[in-house]
Structure 1
């Protein structure tokens, strides 16, 4: 084995261990010894992209393609990176440049579909996904990507079924070691709703506990993130709420259900969403304790603000605002007292006319108690939107143009998940929030003018 090959194998071990910095060092050293090694360029590009240096990563990906034009994975990696960087057109050009044999590969078809969705060409994307599945019916990634298109378009009959291809449920199945509910009869059975995805997903889909109870379940439990336990104490249909960080008694349950599978089992359509609001309630003692923080003049509207989501979410850069300053035009609207519900990244920006409530928030039950005392919540697409909706509190949600989440459907200003209380404000251009904020400011001025003095 040559020294360059030894460095390459060491770098691969670093990549497998998630140590991208060490991998980059080893790969650069390997390139110094063998500058025309396509695999080294491709792996260095991967490591650079993982570290955020996408410009350098693109250079090395393109060099790898020039040196080894028949290596499909390099086209896939470069195209996926470009799509994630909102360069869908460039990604499509990369896929077009792949060799002829690769054009019918399910992986390339699925990746091409993702770029087409990002470019707003969902009909073409759907055709790519369906072609990939025709070639490989078990290709879960294409089925999952197709699910997002179908659900966003309101074609839920097939959409929920395709969503079953998601691959993140295995760890929960291993942890619970219970049979997974298949939608069959529940009479007399004890069913546990397991943890899935984020806090917002749990708040949105645990509404189905009431449906489970109505279907005859003898007992309905919810396993959830610790921060949701107190809040879910008010969840209709739930008999027991258990935090994920504590052991549970497996013998107490017959089956478990994944929250995002419940719409499939109950055959939910856009016209049949279980949306009897509110299905969560604030704790009265907490509301009374926190009420003094919400002091305002009698003629002022009390409005809560959230401008950033969890940075670990894959589309957070698109859904979150650059900062609280982006909301500055709203603060010019007369007759409003502003309160920050922002927790975590961005909470230190709560100043200049905005009351910071973050120090009073320890869990979602605290947030619910505060929201109960407000007139309106204005938020980006985060768990706080679902919490306000579940409480039946008026909520305005700011949505990005770039891959707005499927649950908000397409081209709607309302949502069947939270009818009559939620209004959606959508970006017209990718990354341009000023237009959205002006829309909200005008709507807010109209709302404030209609309040009695």
Structure 2
């Protein structure tokens, strides 16, 4: 018979699936004692023989003989097809060897023999989810929850796969079932808040985040999610305060930066006569977006403001008002001891009490005339008419890139029908290969691969009539150099700075226009709206 519940896999198999050889005499002794039992004639009864093979497998694993361990476990399964522990120990071994297809086959074989093992359905779901096979993972989690409906982790796991499938209401229901089983389930409240936010049920989302924090005040994911929700709603006062609490999260980059820099973090103290180290947080877009605060910090009376940032930003920020020196991260670490304070640009709005009415203007870029002239020559190869810059992919490592980036340049094909327009590819990194072989019906001047840094990109963008892009650093760069920019936003996980249900931005009131993907929508509808707007004119 199949077990009604599962024991834990043996500690050797569970904790050391690819253990180094263990010379312990107990493994040798156990193997020497059990081997004669494996080939007895007549053989041991199936249940006893399977147990002996299990002991041989564990002993072989302890001695580092992985092939023998696998062989013994497979014999145990063949001897007793319902010996769940043998399946699970072997599955642990194979997973440690990254033989995921074999693990899946083994779990399915066990479920064929013992279909009521809820934990194995859950384990199969996790394996499938890790491979982004969400629909199959859903089926596995649902079966687990049908067998044992009182196990909150099964409902929670179901919620985690329903969200990427776009079935948000069902995901919310799954999280609610998990919370009902344990009212202090902080992860359930936090994830429920995330779903409700995507559904536009902002009051309920806020309540869910606050409930998570009521359960665990130091649950940083809920605190950060609540902060960004409030900021997206324009409730800057509490939003900035909660956002600044990210420094207390031991897993955050800001917490790690504090340890590296080793200087007091600026929290609004007087900067008169002080040296301030401003340390880049986030990506290139964040640096440009919050670069507007650098002149304000200098205006506080700081003797020196140093900006530590990625190399691709150095030429761009070298001429920004308020920046005395631009440093690499390595140089910043080396010089940190000579500074009185350090801060992240994303913390400054809190200490300067920024509201939606007092957002400072974008950072002002002073472009090198020689650089502008050099790119003007490249752009001169285009026919007369309006010039539109394009970026259809962001950094593939961004946590929301699967939603915010277009799958290919071909998705922009409706734009090719616009008369009197030339297109310039600013694409850098992922997507450059497409830009180098544009559609025959629409010549595309690809300059992204030729740019060395953001200063080059800025010099190109300053000479364009419009930039159309996904939510990436180029949007902030275009808006900061004064070129109109139309940003295509995804349905899911829209960045807080673009706020909610509006097609403009208080951060870039003169330059940015937003094209939002509606709930349940798709990119083609957004791109068609962009095409129609282009046909009507370029005014933002």
**CA gap 1:12/1:367 in 2 versus in 1, 3 angstroms:** farther
Matched residue of 1:420: which SS? coil
The alignment yields a C-alpha RMSD, in angstroms, of 2.9
Whether 1:232 and 2:317 are equivalent positions in the alignment is yes
Whether 1:315 and 2:395 are equivalent positions in the alignment is no
The residue that corresponds to 2:367 in the other structure is 282
Q: What's the offset of the Cα at 1:288?
A: 1.9
**CA gap 1:31/1:445 in 2 versus in 1, 3 angstroms:** closer
CA-to-aligned-CA distance 1:84-120 (integer Å, 9 cap, x gap): 3322122122123326341342221111111111222
- Flag the structure with more relative contact order, 1 or 2, with Cα contacts below 8 A and sequence separation at least 6: 1
**CA gap 1:25/1:390 in 2 versus in 1, 3 angstroms:** farther
CA separation in 2, counterparts of 1:268 and 1:3?
Answer: 55
Whether 1:248 and 2:334 are equivalent positions in the alignment is yes
Of the candidates 338, 351, 354, which is equivalent to residue 265 of structure 1? Answer: 351
The residue that corresponds to 1:397 in the other structure is 487
The residue that corresponds to 1:380 in the other structure is 470
Matched residue of 2:537: which SS? helix
CA separation in 1, counterparts of 2:423 and 2:308?
Answer: 34
Of the candidates 348, 351, 355, which is equivalent to residue 433 of structure 2? Answer: 348
Runs of 5+ in structure 2 lacking a partner?
A: 1-6, 20-90
The residue that corresponds to 1:338 in the other structure is 423
**CA gap 1:444/1:67 in 2 versus in 1, 3 angstroms:** same
**CA gap 1:41/1:233 in 2 versus in 1, 3 angstroms:** farther
Matched residue of 2:477: which SS? helix
Superposed, which structure 2 residues align to 1:25-424 within 5 Å?
A: 29=106, 38-39=118-119, 41-66=121-146, 69-98=149-178, 100-166=180-246, 167=249, 168=252, 169-246=254-331, 247-275=333-361, 277=362, 279-295=364-380, 299-350=384-435, 351-352=438-439, 353-424=443-514
Which one has the largest radius of gyration? 2
CA separation in 2, counterparts of 1:79 and 1:416?
Answer: 35
Contact 2:179–2:188 (8 Å) recurs in 1: no
Runs of 5+ in structure 1 lacking a partner?
A: none
CA-to-aligned-CA distance 1:106-141 (integer Å, 9 cap, x gap): 221111111111222111111111222233333222
Contact 1:42–1:64 (8 Å) recurs in 2: yes
Matched residue of 2:334: which SS? coil
CA separation in 2, counterparts of 1:2 and 1:138?
Answer: 32
Matched residue of 1:267: which SS? coil
CA-to-aligned-CA distance 1:319-376 (integer Å, 9 cap, x gap): 1122212212222111211100011112222213211112211211111111122121
CA separation in 2, counterparts of 1:162 and 1:334?
Answer: 49
Matched residue of 1:402: which SS? coil
The residue that corresponds to 2:58 in the other structure is none
TM-score, normalising length: structure 1: 0.89
The residue that corresponds to 2:70 in the other structure is none
Contact 2:288–2:363 (8 Å) recurs in 1: no
Q: What's the offset of the Cα at 1:43?
A: 4.5
Matched residue of 1:411: which SS? coil
Contact 1:220–1:237 (8 Å) recurs in 2: yes
